[in-house]
Amino acid sequence: MRIVKNLFCFYLVLISFVYTQEVFLSITNLDSTGLEITMSNFEEVGGFQFDIDVGDGLDSLNVTGASGGTAANAGFTVSTNSTGLVLGFSFSGASIPIDSTGSPLVYVDLSFTGEEGSFSISSATISDPSGGSIDVSTGEDYIISGSTGCTDESACNYDDSATSDDGSCLENDCAGECGGAAIIDECGMCDGPGAVYECGCSDIPEDDCDCEGNVLDDCGECGGDGSTCVDLHYNVEIAGTGESTLFIFETIIEGLESGDELGVFDANGVIDTLGNTGEILVGAGTWTGAQLEVVGIGAVDVSEFGGPILPGAVDGNTMSLKVWKDSEEMEYNVTYTTSAGIGLFNGLFTAINSILFVPPCEDDDSAVAPFTCEDFLPGGSMEGLGCDGMWGDVFVSDVCPETCDTCPVYGCTDEIACNYDSEATDDDGSCEYEVDCSGECGGDTVVDDCGVCDGGNADQDCAGVCFGDSFIDDCGYCVEAGTNPDDCLDADNGLPTEFSLSQNYPNPFNPSTNISFDVAEPGNIDILVYDILGNYVSTLISGFYSEGKYTVNWTGNDASGNSVASGIYIYQLIHDKVTITKKMTLLR
């Protein structure tokens, strides 16, 4: 029992001895960051003060400041004077926590003369958070000897004779110069001039005509397909009128070869400035295997108001299509089927997904040689045999269809179809079986929510009630009948009271157009552009808008900045409260 008591007393004395030295200060390093003062403490520290001294060959000490370390972590204010005094305390009563292992307390910025000598700490005073004194001891002098320089072996100016780092270490630049300023430019070139060439980081290659890798075609057009200088079979000879219908020929169409031409005709269009009618070519294009968009020019007649008559297709007429087969040098009258639209000139669009080639109806005089087809008509030398007779193993009418008037007539041959053609001899796949509410065969007019054919819900009041009597008051709110329209006191604030999306102007356009819109309530607004098949093209705006009137411009480019093709495009305004959609036409 006495041994245990003696051991307890021994450890108590030992612990008391350790804790009589509550704080230990020492100088642990000197480099470009300053003179490192390290503190280990067994009690929280509320303030400190000490002096830095030099000797043994060092002189002219000049202290310019102190920062960092656990003093900075605790939010201490550290002050110095030029002769070496370092003072740290907290205005807020904060303290440096216990750290028995020791951490940098502060880094002292200083200068001095001499290459060899010593640094030491003197007159150290440490206080606890309540202002009481804490015992403190200081370490041995910090000795420096030899020369200063770069002591980092990875630096290009490493000095193996330096015993103290002076912060001068450097790296090689991209040219291999130690401490040089050369850098890699955006083209990956060391000390290069940057993207200053025709194509940014390079000039246009010798055989190319642009930075995209295109070459000149046989017509001298950069990236062209050689078609611009080729004599075309279909040449549209009328000028644009501002009225048009788009015809989209889809890539899935069979029977066309690259170089074939498509002619869009109106069989009963306006052919001159006098208003005469007849067949007229209003649009044309050359097939390349990719989707082809052909704009059919619409006629304009403002003669009633003293204006001109401009030739083109008549609104409501059906488009007639002809194909010039380049490899055969032959023109075909063709029929077609659609995936969207019904083939009318109506200012909108039709998407064509198949073409049915109609064989040319021509006489073959060689098949009845030494006679001609006309010899089999009444009065001819072969009238006795006539068109119904056999010549060899074929009917005369089969080899002389023009003369014998036996050319096939294409149309709908199904008697139950609403567009049945009693004169058609060959079905062309054009049969329609649905009559819309306006009585149009194959039409798309529908009965609206109020039971009105093609009414477009125009008979709904602002509350959505058919033939209702709610109305928009002076403040732009939908109110019931009998409400005083000027009840709202801020009716004249000049701000929009409802959302709107205006028709773009100009329309059709090239190369750009303006779109105006009104915002009635603050919120996020998106205006998006899609092609006629619903594919995303571009986002014109996307962000928060306050109440007001705005305008945005579209330059006919997609989201990647590439120019889009001619055609009809959909633009749509989207807000949490409303979505508005309109169409516009781009003509390149």
Do 480 and 505 fall into the same domain? no
Of the listed ranges 5-19, 64-78, 298-312, 533-547, the one predicted with least confidence: 5-19
Of residues 386 and 220, more confidence is placed in 386
Q: What is the pLDDT of residue 476?
A: 60
Phi, psi dihedrals of residue 401, rounded to the nearest 5°: -65, -35
Kindly indicate the confidence band of residue 493, based on its pLDDT and cuts at 50, 70 and 90.
Answer: low
Q: CB-based contacts of 126: which residues, under 8 Å, 6+ apart? A: 22, 23, 25, 41, 45, 47, 48, 133, 134, 135, 136
Residue 457 within any structural domain of the chain: yes
Residue 332: beta bridge partners?
A: 323
Q: State how far the Cα of 310 lies from the Cα of 351, in Å rounded to an integer.
A: 26
Instruction: Assess whether pLDDT exceeds 70 at residue 22.
Output: yes
- Is 90 exceeded by the pLDDT of residue 50? yes
Q: What is the pLDDT of residue 4?
A: 36
Last residue of a domain, one of 148, 174, 202: 148
3-state secondary structure 90-117: CCCCCCECCEEEEEEEEEEEEEEECCCE
253/347 same-domain check: yes
Torsion sign over Cα 106, 110, 115, 116? negative
CATH number at residue 106: 2.60.40.680
Strands 117-127 and 136-138, bridge-based pairing: unpaired
| pLDDT tier for residue 13 given thresholds of 50, 70 and 90 | very low
Residue-wise pLDDT for 197-210, tens only, equals 778 787 888 788 88
Rg (CA), the chain: 47
At residue 315 the predicted structure's pLDDT band, cuts being 50, 70 and 90, is very high
The pLDDT tens digits of the residues spanning 403-448 come to: 998 888 878 889 998 989 888 888 777 788 888 888 888 777 888 8
Structural domain includes residue 287: yes
Q: What is the pLDDT of residue 488?
A: 55
Model confidence pLDDT, tens digit, residues 214-245: 888 777 788 777 666 667 889 999 999 889 99
As a whole number of angstroms, the distance between CA 315 and CA 318 comes to 9
3-class state of residue 374 by DSSP: helix
Based on the fold, state whether residues 35 and 133 are members of the same structural domain. yes
pLDDT at 265 over 90: yes
Query: What's the whole-number average pLDDT of the chain?
Result: 85
Say if residue 11's pLDDT is above 50. no
Task: Read off the pLDDT of residues 66-91 as tens digits, 9 standing for 90 and up.
Answer: 999 999 999 999 999 999 999 998 88
Query: For residue 494, what pLDDT band results from cuts at 50, 70 and 90?
Result: low
pLDDT for 14 equals: 36
Out of 17-31, 251-265, 342-356, 447-461, least confident range: 17-31
206 in a domain, yes or no?
no
pLDDT of 118 above 80:
yes
- Average pLDDT value for residue range 348-364: 84
Question: Is pLDDT above 80 for 481?
Answer: no
Residue ranges making up the domain that contains 52: 11-148
- The answer to whether residue 431 is domain-embedded is no
Which of 116, 148, 180 is the endpoint of a domain? 148
Q: Are 17 and 143 part of one and the same domain?
A: yes
Arithmetic mean of pLDDT, 87-104: 91
Please tell me the predicted confidence (pLDDT) of residue 245.
92
Q: CB neighbours of 387 closer than 8 A, spacing ≥ 6?
A: 376, 377, 395, 396, 397, 400, 403, 404, 406
Q: Which of 121, 148, 175 is the last residue of a domain?
A: 148
What is the maximum alpha-carbon separation in the chain?
Answer: 158
Please state the domain count of the chain. 5
